[in-house]
Amino acid sequence: MTGNSEALGEVTKVIKTEAEYQTALAAIESLMDLDPLPGTDDASKLELLTLLVEDYESRTAPANLPDPIEAIRFRMEQQNLKQTDLVQYIGSRSKVSEVLSRKRPLTLSMIRKLHSGLRIPAKVLLQDRPESSRDLEETSVDWERFPLREMISRDWVGGPYAKVRDSAEEVLRRFFRNAGQLSPAAVVFRKTYHVRSPRKMDQYALAAWTARVATQALRIPSVGPYSPGSIDLAFMREVARLSWADQGPVLACEFLSRHGIGVVVESHLPHTHLDGAAILLDIGKPVIGLTIRHDRLDNFWFCLMHELAHISLHLMESGSKEPSQFFDNLDPGGMKDSRESDADRLADEALIPEAEWTASPACVLRTREAVEHLATKLRIHPAIVAGRIRYRGGSYRVLGDMIGQGTVRSLFPHVAWDKVA
């Protein structure tokens, strides 16, 4: 697509000539053939070119083009298609009916599929698109890409799958409103988030999980407001010492709630591979989401401290341009930047101060005695020390009986662990 890429670079301002108009149409058709995912650079280029073409057409009143809906009906008649045959291009049966009756505008996703599948010219389908940028963004949401079956199985939304699928937009708008998010598109396509992961995360599943966490966080009784700057190393070490108790993870959640920080435990959705997140709600409340993807005490405490570090270092800075959401898959190999490295260091220092670590036998010995000696001295759970030994030594076969395997999820029985993918 080299030629069209070059042409695209030329059409990034208001279209003034017929030649520029034809170049833009050619670039649009090429981009549609690529079927770019929403939120990607190609999708943004497609939306920009669409707006420029619509602006030119509204100013110049080009030669009469067939009405988009009439063009679809004409192709249906040509190919002897029924409304059910359009489901693969438009979505559900109800969407097909609404589009053909002019109750629902064509989205870019629908236009791409109709252009590709039925070969209806893009310039015909692009007529009468919503004018405002917000409408353009909203109609770019592909509602059926949300993990509807999983959301139903977890009782996040109610109803049989077929019914939810056919009314996905209405159901999901209500779901996001409950989370305090009035614009689902803003959640799916928002730019103010940072992802650390060695594997690609599905943005629709991530948006659904985030909305669920936000909804649950808003239901946590507010004991007091969060005080910016209150999370420091001393505070985090105080949280870490709660690990000594059998109910340590639960006590930590309650402790943080008393300091204005919501902690929500919610298992990850398929294709997210998520361990935890630090989220700043629109109301200014910081929230930590944890998935307990790895049911181990050492993993729980490091994830919790890592997200606390994000809140301390990045999330709540006054006037900061930092992302308002950090999503973390903490498996080895995930992309790190300076913010992730800083959060790792602060989490490590809060759990086991480096000076204490280097002076301890646990730094060189992989024994139960060394683990218990340092854990007792720091008043933290032995699983944290065992986890440090395994990670620093690069050996996950040692001390496997000391990391609290299989002991965390049972502390949060309200979570649908049997639904975990």
Instruction: State pLDDT tens for residues 201-222.
Output: 898 999 999 999 999 998 887 6
Give the chain's length. Answer: 421
- pLDDT value, residue 33: 73
Per-residue model confidence as pLDDT tens digits over 145-172: 899 999 999 999 988 998 888 888 888 8
Confidence class for position 16, pLDDT limits 50, 70, 90: confident
Lowest mean pLDDT among 38-42, 94-98, 386-390: 38-42
Q: Is the pLDDT reported for residue 112 higher than 70?
A: yes
Q: Decide: 190 and 282 in contact? Cβ < 8 Å.
A: no
DSSP H or E run through 325: strand 325-328
Q: What's the rounded Cα separation, in Å, for the pair 417 and 409? A: 7
- pLDDT value, residue 356: 97
Q: What's the rounded Cα separation, in Å, for the pair 373 and 260? A: 34
Position of tokens 């602006």?
55
Mean pLDDT confidence for 87-99 = 85
In sequence order, which ranges of 61-103 are alpha helices (DSSP H)? 68-78, 87-90, 93-100
Q: Decide: 264 and 288 in contact? Cβ < 8 Å.
A: yes
Question: How far lies 167's CA from each of 31, 92, 93, 114, in Å?
Answer: 29, 8, 10, 21
Q: What's the rounded Cα separation, in Å, for the pair 216 and 291? A: 13
Q: Residue 162: which residues within 8 A CB-CB, separation 6 or more?
A: none
Q: What are phi and psi of 129, to 5 degrees?
A: -80, 155
Q: How does the average pLDDT of the chain come out, rounded?
A: 84
**134 φ/ψ sector (left φ>0, alpha ψ -120 to 50, else beta):** alpha
Confidence class for position 110, pLDDT limits 50, 70, 90: confident
Q: Is the pLDDT reported for residue 6 higher than 60?
A: no
Q: What's the rounded Cα separation, in Å, for the pair 267 and 409? A: 10
Q: What are phi and psi of 14, to 5 degrees?
A: -55, 130
End-to-end CA distance of the chain: give it in Å, rounded: 39
Confidence class for position 21, pLDDT limits 50, 70, 90: confident
Position of tokens 């204005």?
260
- pLDDT value, residue 187: 62
Give one DSSP letter per residue of 13-58, joined into a string: S---SHHHHHHHHHHHHHHHHH-PPTTSHHHHHHHHHHHHHHHHHH
Q: What's the rounded Cα separation, in Å, for the pair 377 and 369? A: 12
Question: Does residue 147 or residue 1 have the better pLDDT?
Answer: 147
Quote the DSSP letter at residue 322.
Answer: S
Question: Does residue 252 or residue 51 have the better pLDDT?
Answer: 252
Render the burial of 330-349: b for 16+ CB within 10 Å, e for the rest.
beeebeeeebbebbbebbbb
Position of tokens 């395994």?
390
Q: What are phi and psi of 41, to 5 degrees?
A: -60, -40
- pLDDT value, residue 410: 96
Q: What's the rounded Cα separation, in Å, for the pair 106 and 128? A: 9
